[in-house]
Chain A
Amino acid sequence: EDQVTQSPEALRLQEGESSSLNCSYTVSGLRGLFWYRQDPGKGPEFLFTLYSAGEEKEKERLKATLTKKESFLHITAPKPEDSATYLCAVEQGGSEKLVFGKGTKLTVNP
């Protein structure tokens, strides 16, 4: 049973077309939810950590939000360089390990 589900699997946007990626989780006792960006042939790069429902974090065109069941990664006016796979991961209290979702592959066309 998947503990972390990301949707959509793939998303294609035009430059400037804002959208959101979803990460839903079923773990109890969430210790932290992490967003990473992965470019082809590279390792994941850390973006945000969210710890409690209602928390929001922003970085350039990206904004991450968290509820008790899911997190959204909002992308405002994306540029082609935002094209990447975005991974969500959760850490359950007491587990000391991250469980990753399968990612959303974002393509932003110029």
Chain B
Amino acid sequence: DTAVSQTPKYLVTQMGNDKSIKCEQNLGHDTMYWYKQDSKKFLKIMFSYNNKELIINETVPNRFSPKSPDKAHLNLHINSLELGDSAVYFCASSPRVDSPLHFGNGTRLTVT
């Protein structure tokens, strides 16, 4: 019944590794997002896809690469992880770009 689900919930890894976070939504929404919440709880948009097309790409290092195989999935791949990448990453979806967001419960990434 979970509307927006992310896996894994926790991810602990070492610097330099490559990791992926998966997101799936079963709400039939056209738009999906990745947000980053830092240690100060500040939530900032990273990427947005509408119908599998990238529409927002904030100033994010190109080590971060989103991939949307279909409307219901948006994955985030991170290369060469750095200490500063440690944060909680939230996936979200919405029916349209100006509609309220439905968030997943986040993936806490810790880079050691």
Q: Which chain A residues have a beta carbon within 8 Å of chain B's beta carbons?
A: 31-32, 34, 36, 41-46, 49, 85, 87, 89, 91, 96-100, 102-103
Q: Report whether over half of chain A's contact residues are helix, strand or loop; otherwise say mixed.
A: strand
Which residue of chain A lies nearest to B6 when distances are taken between CB atoms in the complex?
A43
**A41-B105, A43-B92 in contact; A85/B45 too (CB < 8 A)?**
no
Give the residue of B41, B48, B102 whose beta carbon is less than 8 angstroms from that of A85.
B41
**A100-B43, A102-B42 in contact; A44/B105 too (CB < 8 A)?**
no
Instruction: Give the shortest distance, in Å, between B13 (CB) and chain A (any CB).
Output: 20
Chain B interface size, as a band, is 20 to 34
Pairwise interchain contact B43-A44, C-beta atoms closer than 8 A: yes
Segment touching A, from B14-22, B66-74, B93-101: B93-101
Which residue of chain A lies nearest to B90 when distances are taken between CB atoms in the complex?
A43
Pairwise interchain contact A97-B101, C-beta atoms closer than 8 A: no
CA distance A96 to B94 in the complex (A): 12
Pairwise interchain contact B56-A44, C-beta atoms closer than 8 A: no
Which residue of chain A lies nearest to B102 when distances are taken between CB atoms in the complex?
A46
